[in-house]
């Protein structure tokens, strides 16, 4: 067999920007590449989700309302939606540099920019910058996973890739729950995160590689296809393969499926951004307890992602796992909705519920990622990044819109986050005075309005003593009592009403999440793949036989092939 001249392998420092592999890698290198991609994804999501663990501290320190905080998330996700679309160009220009240099940018922002912000606007700018990079990585990293994983190992590989956002969330809650007591400043969490991110960037910058376009633009069902793909790569016209990309990937099935998974993941993004707030303001747990609860969610989700991927690949089907996960997710979300008003639910009970959430979500999402990339490949295997860009754009758009709606649905969060801790502290400190204050609120409000400077005439002071008693009157005349009573008069009723309304509002939001998960279920049927393991196995066996036949034909018959562009002058050669 004679082969045409291939692009020269990069040497030395060239490897820092020329990352293409002209041959499909051996197993050790392939697993190394997949490992670096997964590690990179974990760190990028760790950096992107860290603000959720210290949200209450950030709001208080930067004098930021909950609505302002949510709008920052909306803007970051909206920007990420459009950078996800732009990342579709990874099919034309490659993926590895996007990931390697993206890690550098996010590491610098997280370690140095965010900890030094002094205003809520500066914080918003930094968060938006992180959103830009995450939108690119959301497309580039699963595209790399697809490139390095044949279809018969795709669900396992995607299960490990989806560990990125999940383990990133787990790292957030694990680190914060163990360090917040000793490092109470919210800035410290970003410094820790950023330093870890820069270490991972150094690894990816030196070691991360990707397949050459002629290799990645072909469909690979199993490792058995390796020889055929490398032989065919010499004749791949890369430019023709990626011509008119959007027209090829904007198919109803691809769009509907991407929309469905976006709605399915509403509960996941709610957990990432707002579950610490939910467990603190509604269920009464401390900040470290709230983050500790999420450890159960992320841990079970991570395990389920891997188990579902391995089982799916072994049985060679995706759809039964997605259906199981979708139905289970709807049920457990409705259970959460039911438990929300009950503040006597124990920590252990909530931990069990969150384990169930993690299991069902893991089974659905890992297999969906595998099935979606296979559906895109059925259209054109050269356009994986463009197909993932459609998903990334739709996902980020759904998250942005939902976060825009959430403060309207859960309006009680703002007063509880902004004033709840202060009112709770006062209530605990002045518990013996508060019933008297509440019983005489109208009288005391009238006195305060008539004498705002606190200089109450003796006769009025006597009326106050007669009305509320000497102890309360003495407390009211003290600096601490005057300040506390002013706070209670100003926001006490608002906080009290918010505490009453909050469970019902969260129940409304959880119902929206459950409806999104319900929509996901019928969309399972539009994706490529079999329901029956026997039929899937028969199809794989037939494909393997066809590959063997084609290899035998190529080894005995001269075949004219054309060098892809970028490998020197276009020329015709023969495989003999």
Of 356, 132, 393, the closest CA to residue 262 belongs to 393
> What element of type H or E holds 558?
none
Reported as a pLDDT band with limits 50, 70 and 90, residue 516 is: very high
> Which residues share a beta bridge with 210?
20
Tell whether the torsion through CA atoms of 220, 223, 228 and 233 is positive or negative. Answer: positive
Residue 575 pairs in a beta bridge with 559
Higher-scoring residue by pLDDT: 427, 505: 505
The answer, yes or no, to whether residue 379 has pLDDT greater than 60, is yes
Distance of CA 46 to the CA centre of its chain: 9
The model's confidence at residue 73, banded by pLDDT at 50, 70 and 90, is: confident
Q: Which residue has the tokens 């998903």?
A: 391
Q: Take residue 531 and report the two structure tokens written for it.
A: 């329901």
Higher pLDDT, 217 or 483: 483
pLDDT of residue 277: 83
Distance CA 24, CA 214 (A): 11
d(CA 500, CA 194) in angstroms, rounded, equals: 39
Q: Is the dihedral of CA 361, 272, 336, 395 positive or negative?
A: negative
For 64-131, give the DSSP string.
--HHHHHHHHHHHHHHHHHHHHHGGGHHHH-SHHHHHHHHHHHHHIIIIIGGG--SHHHHHHHHHHHH
Cβ neighbours, 10 Å, residue 62:
18
Q: Which domains does the chain have, with CATH numbers?
A: 12-420+499-535 (1.20.1250.20), 421-498 (no CATH), 536-575 (no CATH)
Strand-pairing partners, residue 20, are: 210
pLDDT > 80? residue 310: yes
pLDDT per residue over 167-214, tens digit each?
A: 887 788 788 878 887 888 889 999 999 999 999 999 999 888 887 776
Distance CA 490, CA 493 (A): 8
Residue with tokens 């899937």: 536
Q: Is the pTM above the cut of 0.75?
A: no
Least confident of 40-49, 150-159, 221-230, 512-521: 221-230
Q: Residue 495 in contact with residue 420, Cβ under 8 Å?
A: yes
CA 107 – CA 576 distance, rounded (Å): 51
Using DSSP's 3-state secondary structure scheme, residue 560 falls into strand
**More confident call, 29 vs 571:** 29
User: pLDDT at position 571, please?
Assistant: 38
Neighbours of 477 (CB within 10 A): 14
- For residues 270 and 413, is the Cβ–Cβ distance under 8 A? no
Reading the block at residue 257, the tokens are 């499926």
The model's confidence at residue 560, banded by pLDDT at 50, 70 and 90, is very low
Is the pLDDT at 350 greater than 90, yes or no?
Answer: yes
Mean pLDDT value across residues 425-450: 79
Residue 370's Cβ-side half-sphere holds a number of Cα atoms within 13 Å equal to 34
SS3 state at 559: strand
CA Rg value for the chain:
29
Token look-up 């706070």 returns: 487
Count the helix, strand and coil residues of the chain and give each as a percent rounded to the nearest 5.
80, 0, 20
Name residue 574's beta-bridge partners: 560
Kind of pairing between the strands at 559-562 and 210-211? unpaired
Kindly state the average pLDDT of the residues 31-44: 89
Token pair, residue 537, equals: 């196995």
pLDDT higher at 497 or 566: 497
Average pLDDT over residues 388-394: 87
């Amino acid at each position: 067999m004679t082969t045409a001249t291939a692009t020269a392998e990069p040497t030395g420092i060239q490897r820092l920007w020329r990352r293409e592999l002209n041959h499909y890698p051996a197993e050790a290198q392939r697993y190394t590449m997949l490992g670096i991609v997964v590690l990179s994804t974990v760190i990028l999501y760790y950096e992107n989700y860290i603000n959720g663990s210290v949200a209450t501290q950030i709001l208080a320190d930067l004098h930021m309302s909950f609505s302002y905080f949510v709008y920052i998330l909306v803007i970051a996700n909206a920007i990420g939606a459009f950078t996800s679309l732009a990342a579709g160009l990874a099919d034309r220009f490659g993926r590895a540099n996007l990931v390697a240099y993206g890690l550098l940018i996010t590491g610098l922002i997280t370690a140095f920019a965010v900890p030094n912000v002094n205003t809520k606007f500066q914080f918003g700018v930094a968060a938006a910058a992180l959103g830009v990079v995450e939108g690119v990585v959301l497309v580039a990293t699963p595209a790399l996973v697809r490139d390095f994983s044949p279809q018969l190992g795709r669900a396992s590989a995607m299960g490990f890739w989806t560990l990125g956002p999940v383990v990133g969330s787990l790292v957030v809650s694990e680190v914060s729950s163990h360090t917040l007591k000793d490092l109470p400043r919210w800035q410290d969490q970003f410094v820790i995160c950023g330093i870890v991110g820069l270490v991972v960037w150094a690894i990816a910058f030196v070691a991360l590689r990707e397949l050459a376009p002629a290799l990645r633009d072909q469909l690979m069902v199993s490792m058995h296809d390796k020889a055929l793909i490398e032989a065919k790569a010499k004749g791949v016209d890369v430019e023709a393969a990626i011509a008119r990309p959007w027209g090829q990937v904007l198919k109803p099935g691809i769009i509907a499926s991407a929309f469905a998974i976006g709605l399915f993941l509403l509960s996941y993004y709610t957990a990432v951004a707002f579950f610490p707030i939910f467990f603190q303001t509604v269920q009464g747990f401390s900040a470290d307890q709230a983050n500790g609860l999420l450890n159960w969610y992320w841990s079970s989700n991570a395990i389920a992602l891997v188990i579902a991927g391995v089982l799916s690949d072994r049985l060679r089907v995706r759809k039964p796992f997605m259906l199981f996960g979708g139905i289970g997710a709807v049920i457990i979300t409705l259970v959460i909705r039911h438990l929300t008003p009950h503040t006597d639910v124990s920590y252990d009970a909530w931990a069990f519920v969150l384990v169930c959430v993690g299991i069902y979500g893991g089974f659905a999402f890992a297999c969906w990622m595998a099935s979606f990339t296979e559906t895109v490949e059925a259209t054109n295997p050269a356009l994986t990044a463009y197909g993932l860009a459609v998903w990334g754009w739709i996902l980020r758009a759904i998250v942005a819109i939902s976060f825009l709606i959430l403060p309207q649905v859960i309006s009680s969060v703002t007063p509880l986050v902004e004033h709840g801790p202060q009112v709770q502290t006062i209530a605990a400190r002045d518990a013996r005075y508060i019933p008297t204050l509440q019983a005489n609120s109208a009288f005391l409000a009238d006195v305060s309005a008539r004498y705002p400077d606190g200089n109450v005439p003796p006769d009025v002071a006597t009326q106050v003593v007669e009305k509320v008693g000497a102890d309360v009157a003495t407390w009211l005349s003290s600096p601490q009592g005057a300040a506390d009573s002013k706070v209670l008069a100003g926001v006490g009723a608002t906080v009290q009403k918010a505490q009453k309304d909050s469970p019902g509002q969260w129940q409304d939001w959880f119902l929206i999440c459950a409806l999104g998960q319900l929509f996901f279920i019928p969309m399972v049927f539009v994706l490529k793949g079999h329901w029956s393991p026997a039929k899937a196995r028969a199809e794989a066996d037939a494909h393997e036989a066809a590959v063997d036949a084609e290899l035998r034909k190529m080894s005995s018959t001269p075949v004219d092939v054309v060098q892809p562009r970028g490998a020197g002058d276009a020329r015709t050669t023969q495989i003999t």
